[in-house]
Amino acid sequence: MIISKDWWIVTDIDGTLMDHDYNYDPALPTISWLKDIGIPIIPCTSKTATEVRSLREELGLNDPYIVENGGAIYGFEASKRKEWELILGKSFKELRLILDSISQEIGYSLKPLNDLSHAEIKSLTGLKGDAILKALDRKWSVPFLNPPSSDRDKLIEIAKKFDANIYKGNRMSHLLSQASHKGLAVLKLKQYLNKPDVKIIGLGDSHNDIPLLEAADYSIVVPGNKGPNEFLLEGIEKGEYILAPKPHAEGWAISIRNLLNSV
How far apart are alpha carbons 167 and 208 in whole angstroms?
Answer: 5
Instruction: Examine the residue annotation and report whether 12 is marked as an active-site residue of this protein.
Output: yes
Neighbouring CB atoms inside 10 A of 78's CB total 8
Among candidate residues 12, 14, 19, 209, the one labeled active-site is: 12
Q: What is the distance of C-alpha 168 from the center of its chain?
A: 11
199 to each of 6, 144, 196, how far by Cα in Å? Answer: 6, 33, 9
Q: Return contacts of 237-243, CB within 8 angstroms, 24+ apart.
A: 240/213, 241/213, 242/218
Neighbouring CB atoms inside 10 A of 196's CB total 8
Residues noted as catalytic: 12
